[in-house]
Amino acid sequence: MSKTISHMSPEEIAASVSAWEKTEVAAFLARTPERKEQFFTLGDFPVKRTYTAADIADTPAEDIGLPGQYPFTRGPYPTMYRGRNWTMRQIAGFGTGEDTNKRFKYLIAQGQTGISTDFDMPTLMGYDSDHPMSEGEVGREGVAIDTLADMRELLEGIDLEEISVSLTINPTAWILLAMYIALAEERGNDLNRISGTVQADILKEYMAQKEYIYPIAPSVRIVRDMIAYSAKTMKRYNPINISGYHISEAGSSPLHEAAFTLANLIVYVDEVQKTGVDVDDFAPRLAFFFVCQADFFEEIAKFRALRRCYAKIMKDRFGAKKPESMRLRFHCQTAAASLTKPQYMVNVMRTTAQALAAVLGGAQSLHTNGYDEAFAIPTEHAMQLALRTQQVIADETNVTQVVDPLGGSYYVESLTNDYERKIFEILDEVEERGGTIKLIEEGWFQKHIADFAYETALRKQSGEKPVIGVNRYVMENTDAKIEVHPYDQTTADRQIARTRSVRETRDEARVQALLDDLVAAARDDSTNIMPVTIDLVKSGATMGDIVEKLKVIWGVYRETPVF
Amino acid sequence: MSTQIRVLLAKVGLDGHDRGVKVVARTLRDAGMDVVYSGLHRTPEEVVTAAVQEDVDILGVSLLSGVQMTVFPKIFALLRQHKVEDMIVVAGGVMPDEDVEELKRMGVAEVLLQDTPPQYIIETLTALVAARGPR
3-state secondary structure A391-420: HHHHHHCCCCCCCCCCCCCHHHHHHHHHHH
Q: Is residue A3 pLDDT above 90, yes or no?
A: no
As a whole number of angstroms, the distance between CA B108 and CA B128 comes to: 11
Pairwise CB contact (< 8 Å): B22 & A453: yes
φ, ψ of residue A187 in degrees (nearest 5): -85, -5
**C-alpha dist (Å) from residue A251 to A447, A457, A471, B7:** 10, 10, 19, 23
- Residue B9, burial from CB neighbour count under 10 angstroms (0-12, 13-18, 19+): buried
B1 belongs to a structural domain: no
Q: What is the mean pLDDT of residues A193-199?
A: 95
* Closest Cβ–Cβ partner in B14, B39, B117 for A133: B14
What residues in A contact B27, CB-CB < 8 Å?
454, 457
* Closest Cβ–Cβ partner in B19, B37, B69 for A251: B19
What residues in A contact B92, CB-CB < 8 Å?
none
Q: What is the pLDDT of residues A350-376, one digit of tens each?
A: 999 999 999 999 999 999 999 999 888
CATH number, domain at B24?
A: 3.40.50.280
Q: Is residue A554 pLDDT above 70, yes or no?
A: yes
Q: What is the pLDDT of residues A129-149, one digit of tens each?
A: 999 999 999 999 999 999 999
Cα A343–Cα A346–Cα A349 angle in degrees, nearest 5: 175
Q: How far is B2 from chain A (nearest CA, A)?
A: 24
B69 belongs to a structural domain: yes
pLDDT band for position A162 (50/70/90)? very high
User: To which CATH superfamily is domain A61-462 assigned?
Assistant: Methylmalonyl-CoA mutase (3.20.20.240)
As a whole number of angstroms, the distance between CA A209 and CA A328 comes to: 23
Instruction: Put residue A4 in one of left, alpha, beta given phi > 0 → left and psi -120 to 50 → alpha.
Output: beta
A458 close contact with B: CB closer than 8 A:
yes
As a whole number of angstroms, the distance between CA A69 and CA A78 comes to: 7
Q: What is the pLDDT of residues B22-70, one digit of tens each?
A: 999 999 999 999 999 999 999 999 999 999 999 999 999 999 999 999 9
* Closest Cβ–Cβ partner in A137, A249, A340 for B14: A137
Pairwise CB contact (< 8 Å): A137 & B25: no
What residues in A contact B67, CB-CB < 8 Å?
136-137, 140
Compare all CA atoms of chain A with the CA of B25 and give the residue at the minimum distance.
A563
- Whether residue A401 contacts residue A83, with contact meaning beta carbons closer than 8 Å, is answered with no
Q: What is the mean pLDDT of residues A161-177?
A: 96
As a whole number of angstroms, the distance between CA A452 and CA A43 comes to: 9
Instruction: Choose between B63 and B134: higher pLDDT.
Output: B63
Identify the bridge partners of residue B34 per DSSP, sorted by sequence position: B6
As a whole number of angstroms, the distance between CA A199 and CA A555 comes to: 23
What is the span of the domain harbouring residue B123? 6-132
DSSP state of B42: B
Q: Is residue B1 pLDDT above 70, yes or no?
A: no
pLDDT band for position B2 (50/70/90)? low
Q: How many domains does chain B have?
A: 1
Compare all CA atoms of chain A with the CA of B99 and give the residue at the minimum distance.
A375
Q: Is residue A342 pLDDT above 70, yes or no?
A: yes
Q: What sign for the dihedral angle of Cα A5, A11, A13, A16?
A: negative
A376 close contact with B: CB closer than 8 A:
yes
- Residue A398, burial from CB neighbour count under 10 angstroms (0-12, 13-18, 19+): exposed
Residue A375 has what pLDDT?
Answer: 86
pTM: 0.96
Q: What is the pLDDT of residues A64-104, one digit of tens each?
A: 999 999 999 999 999 999 999 999 999 999 999 999 999 99
- In this structure, how many other beta carbons lie within 10 angstroms of the beta carbon of residue A505? 10
What residues in B contact A379, CB-CB < 8 Å?
none
- Whether residue A479 contacts residue A342, with contact meaning beta carbons closer than 8 Å, is answered with yes
Q: What is the mean pLDDT of residues A194-211?
A: 96
pLDDT band for position A483 (50/70/90)? confident
Identify the bridge partners of residue A107 per DSSP, sorted by sequence position: none
Q: Is residue A188 pLDDT above 90, yes or no?
A: yes
Q: What is the pLDDT of residues A269-326, one digit of tens each?
A: 999 999 999 999 999 999 999 999 999 999 999 999 999 999 999 999 999 999 999 9
Pairwise CB contact (< 8 Å): B13 & A454: no
* Closest Cβ–Cβ partner in B17, B22, B43 for A450: B22
Q: Is residue A478 pLDDT above 90, yes or no?
A: no
Closest CA to A555 of A180, A146, A215, A125: A215
Residue A1 has what pLDDT?
Answer: 57
Domain map (residue ranges) of chain A: 61-462
Widest distance between CA atoms in chain A: 90
Widest distance between CA atoms in chain B: 41
Closest CA to B5 of B119, B87, B99: B87
Alpha carbon A521 to its chain centroid, in Å, reads 30
| Mean pLDDT value across chain A | 96
Q: How far is B117 from chain A (nearest CA, A)?
A: 5
A473 close contact with B: CB closer than 8 A:
no
Closest CA to A355 of A345, A370, A344: A370
Contacts of A233 (CB under 8 A, 6+ apart): A181, A191, A192
Q: What sign for the dihedral angle of Cα B33, B39, B41, B44?
A: negative
* Closest Cβ–Cβ partner in B67, B115, B118 for A340: B115
Interface of B with A (CB under 8 A): 13-19, 22-23, 25-27, 29, 37, 39-41, 43, 65-67, 69-71, 94, 96, 113-115, 117-119
pLDDT band for position A477 (50/70/90)? confident
B76 belongs to a structural domain: yes
Compare all CA atoms of chain B with the CA of A122 and give the residue at the minimum distance.
B14
Q: Return the H-helix or E-strand segment holding B120.
A: helix B118-132
Q: What is the mean pLDDT of residues A474-478?
A: 84
Residue A147 has what pLDDT?
Answer: 98
Establish whether the linkage from the previous residue to A71 is cis, with ω within 30° of 0: yes
Q: How far is B69 from chain A (nearest CA, A)?
A: 8
Contacts of A230 (CB under 8 A, 6+ apart): A237, A238, A239, A282, A285
Closest CA to B44 of B1, B111, B109, B89: B89
- Whether residue A542 contacts residue A499, with contact meaning beta carbons closer than 8 Å, is answered with yes
Crossing angle of helices A530-538/A173-186, nearest 10°? Answer: 60
Closest CA to A277 of A233, A307, A219: A233
Q: What sign for the dihedral angle of Cα A277, A283, A286, A291?
A: positive
Pairwise CB contact (< 8 Å): A133 & B115: no
Instruction: Choose between A526 and A7: higher pLDDT.
Output: A526
Q: What is the mean pLDDT of residues B68-92?
A: 96
Q: Return the H-helix or E-strand segment holding A348.
A: helix A346-360
